Amino acid sequence: MRTQPARFFRMLLCFAFVSLLPVRSFAQTSPAAARITQAVDESQLTVLKGNTYFMARAQYDRGPAPASLPMNRMLLVLRRSPEQEAALEQLLDQQQDQSSPNYHQWLTPRQFGQQFGPADQDIQTVTSWLQSHGFQVTRISNGRTVIEFSGTAGQVQEALHTAIHKYAVPGANGTEEHWANSSDPQIPTALTPVVVGVNTLHNFPRKPMHVLAGVFKKNKSTGETKPVNPQFSFSCGASNKLQTC
């Protein structure tokens, strides 16, 4: 099994040279088959598990948000079919195989979406469902895996069956207040072959996955790396003064 970082790197390579290399002909693929085959029934619901922010806890809950609270740039995340996932893995392998006719045959984002995204009919069904609840659909990503939409907290509760609450959580500078959904959202079961989750139902800030360790310089002759301005001082010698040793 490939590791997730390796797969992510391969995905980056898929797009790396879009603006540098001409896109030559690819094997023609048939249009994606529609996977939403049942009528949308609002009484038949499925919970989208894992779509509640971890800090939206009862101990921090300060009550529901007003129904008129604007909820902008929410993201409905769509899934590929198992067949599309397998075809994508095969293409990623072929793009790195010099013996393959698809070697370095990079796809544009739009081509990627047409080949590996949901069918037009499914996109239309999902966007129509959002609009039927009063949401404004603002954008569909070129890769066809994200639908951006906006509305209010009241519309979120009515359509996604989760209430937006205010949370007062401890932060670096004292208590911070944020809005978030209090439970996992629910959608009509008919949409689940295509819809995998809802992102950004909260306004907690995203935290970077990297940590800044300072500025370093490398000695070209020895290869030794040293910090330019050490960020820590400590007691050194018998003087009992804080200094950098």
Angle at 71 between CA 69 and CA 74, to 5 degrees: 165
Per the domain annotation, does 212 fall within a domain? no
| Residue 16 CB-half CA count within 13 A | 11
pLDDT of 218 over the 80 cut: no
Structure tokens at 244: 């950098």
Per the domain annotation, does 233 fall within a domain? no
User: Coil, strand or helix: which one is 112?
Assistant: helix
> For the chain, how long is the longest CA-to-CA vector?
80
Report pLDDT digits (tens) over 1-56. Answer: 444 445 544 544 444 433 333 333 344 456 789 999 999 999 999 999 999 999 99
pLDDT band of 225, cuts 50, 70, 90: confident
Nearest to 32 by CA among 76, 88, 75, 77: 88
Q: What is the pLDDT, as a whole number, of residue 220?
A: 72
Per the domain annotation, does 5 fall within a domain? no
The rounded distance, in Å, linking the Cα atoms of 242 and 34 is 68
Cα 93–chain centre separation: 24
The rounded distance, in Å, linking the Cα atoms of 79 and 117 is 8
Q: What is the pLDDT, as a whole number, of residue 2?
A: 44
Q: Which amino acid is at 34?
A: A
- Cα torsion for 19, 25, 30, 33, to the nearest 10°? -10
Angle at 168 between CA 149 and CA 50, to 5 degrees: 50
Percent residues over pLDDT 90 in the chain: 67
pLDDT of 163 over the 80 cut: yes
Sole residue written with tokens 């002909």: 25
Percent residues over pLDDT 70 in the chain: 76
Report pLDDT digits (tens) over 227-244. Answer: 766 554 444 444 444 343
- Looking at residues 98-108, what average pLDDT do you find? 93
Mean pLDDT of the chain: 83
Per the domain annotation, does 243 fall within a domain? no
Give phi and psi for 191, each to the nearest 5.
-90, -10
Q: What is the pLDDT, as a whole number, of residue 14?
A: 46
Q: What is the DSSP letter of 58?
A: G
Q: What is the pLDDT, as a whole number, of residue 31?
A: 73
User: Coil, strand or helix: which one is 121?
Assistant: helix
The rounded distance, in Å, linking the Cα atoms of 138 and 58 is 33
pLDDT of 137 over the 80 cut: yes
Q: Which amino acid is at 49?
A: K
pLDDT of 194 over the 80 cut: yes
Sole residue written with tokens 């249009």: 31
- List % helix, strand, coil for the chain (3-state, nearest 5): 25, 25, 50
Number of domains in the chain: 1
Per the domain annotation, does 161 fall within a domain? yes
- Looking at residues 186-207, what average pLDDT do you find? 93
- Looking at residues 58-81, what average pLDDT do you find? 96
Determine the structural domain holding residue 158 and report its residue range: 12-17+34-199
Q: What is the pTM of this model?
A: 0.72
Per the domain annotation, does 104 fall within a domain? yes
Q: What is the pLDDT, as a whole number, of residue 207?
A: 66
Structure tokens at 230: 């050490």
Q: Which amino acid is at 166?
A: K
pLDDT of 136 over the 90 cut: yes
Per the domain annotation, does 113 fall within a domain? yes
Q: What is the pLDDT, as a whole number, of residue 245?
A: 37
Per the domain annotation, does 170 fall within a domain? yes
